[in-house]
Amino acid sequence: MADRVQLVALIAAVVLLFVVLEMVRRRRLMERYALLWLLSAVVLIGLAGWRNGLVHVAHAVGIYSPPNALFVIALGFVLLLLLHFSAAVSRLADQTKVLAQRLALLEERLAQVEESSELAEEGAPRIEADPERQRRFARVSSD
């Protein structure tokens, strides 16, 4: 029975390894994020294949059934990966914030530059029906 569990775990871990490698090959997964996945796949393959190692690990931490140790270690990797992604999301959110702020600042500056260059080209102020333009014009020319 335990052998069959180990076989399933071995096959699952090998499939995981291939899926991750294939995703990296197709550039669907960046190497930076693939490393932790590869590490977990390799460790799981090692433990699923090397029966004595698993028994030793299980014994050392007080788990009666060695296959359970395999699941505990797999769960540990899952938690590690989730934390890794939370950190990645936090960094992305911070970078996105800076980009949004920079974009707004550049748009504002561009609008100012366009307005002043229009004014310089036209020489005399053009009266327009649009009240927003009139008001902005009044501000720029008073500067």
Partner 1 sequence: MSSKSSYLAVVPAYNESASIVGVVESLRERAPDFDVLVVDDGSTDDTAAMARLAGARVLKLPFNLGIGGAVQAGFVFAHDHHYDYMAQVDGDGQHEPAELRKLIAEMKSAPHPDMVCGSRFLNDDFHYPAPVSRRTGIHIFASLLSRIVSQRVSDPTSGFRLYNRRAIELFAHDYPHDYPEVEAVLMLHHHRLRMREIPVKMYTRTGGVSSISSGKSAYYMVKVLLAVLVGLARRRPVIEPGDGAPVSAEQGV
Binding site for partner 1 (CB under 8 A): 93, 97, 100-101, 103-105, 107-108, 131-132, 135-136, 139
Written as one letter, the residue type at 39 is L
- Nearest distance, CB of residue 112 and partner 1, angstroms: 8
Cβ within 8 Å of residue 72, ≥6 positions away: 61, 63
Tokens of 1: 């029975």
Rounded to whole angstroms, how far apart are CA atoms 56 and 63? 10
Q: Is 92 exposed, middle or buried (0-12, 13-18, 19+ CB in 10 A)?
A: exposed
Taking the least distance from each CB to partner 1, the nearer of 56 and 139 is 139
Rounded to whole angstroms, how far apart are CA atoms 135 and 1? 82
Taking the least distance from each CB to partner 1, the nearer of 56 and 135 is 135
Contact yes or no for 47/53 (Cβ under 8 A): yes
- Nearest distance, CB of residue 16 and partner 1, angstroms: 35
- Nearest distance, CB of residue 104 and partner 1, angstroms: 4
Taking the least distance from each CB to partner 1, the nearer of 30 and 105 is 105
Taking the least distance from each CB to partner 1, the nearer of 31 and 132 is 132
Taking the least distance from each CB to partner 1, the nearer of 105 and 113 is 105
- Nearest distance, CB of residue 108 and partner 1, angstroms: 5
- Nearest distance, CB of residue 6 and partner 1, angstroms: 43
Rounded to whole angstroms, how far apart are CA atoms 100 and 122? 33
